[in-house]
């Protein structure tokens, strides 16, 4: 993911049409729900790793889970 400076962001906002600036303002004031965002921009495949099992069943102390 690229990172932008404030000056770069201001230039990008200045380049928006008045309608798009209004839309951006509405999104800032009333952000959409997580559900809406995940439907609009689903998580990328690389956001999840299947290379390892973070909680293997063979690990220690599983017998104590839920016994507190």
Residue-wise pLDDT tens digits, 1-58: 578 899 999 999 999 999 999 989 988 888 878 887 777 777 777 777 666 656 666 6
Instruction: Decide: 24 and 13 in contact? Cβ < 8 Å.
Output: yes
In terms of C-beta density within 10 A (0-12 exposed, 13-18 middle, 19 or more buried), how is residue 67 classed?
exposed
Structural domain including 23 reads: 1-42
Q: For residue 60, is it within any domain? A: no
Query: Nearest Cα to 1, choosing from 42, 46, 38?
Result: 46
Q: How many independent structural domains does the chain possess?
A: 1
Q: For residue 65, is it within any domain? A: no
Residue 68 has pLDDT above 90, yes or no: no
Q: For residue 49, is it within any domain? A: no
Q: For residue 62, is it within any domain? A: no
Q: For residue 35, is it within any domain? A: yes
What span, in angstroms and rounded, lies between the C-alpha atoms of 64 and 17?
Answer: 59
Q: For residue 37, is it within any domain? A: yes
Q: For residue 56, is it within any domain? A: no
Q: Give the pLDDT confidence of 50-63 residue by residue, as tens digits.
A: 666 566 666 666 66
Instruction: Decide: 34 and 42 in contact? Cβ < 8 Å.
Output: no
């Amino acid at each position: 993911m690229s990172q932008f400076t404030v000056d770069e962001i201001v230039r990008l906002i200045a380049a928006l049409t008045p309608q798009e600036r209004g839309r951006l303002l509405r999104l800032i004031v009333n952000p959409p729900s997580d559900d809406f965002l995940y439907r609009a921009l689903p998580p990328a495949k690389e956001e999840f790793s299947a290379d390892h099992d973070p909680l293997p069943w063979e690990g220690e102390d599983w017998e104590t889970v839920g016994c507190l």
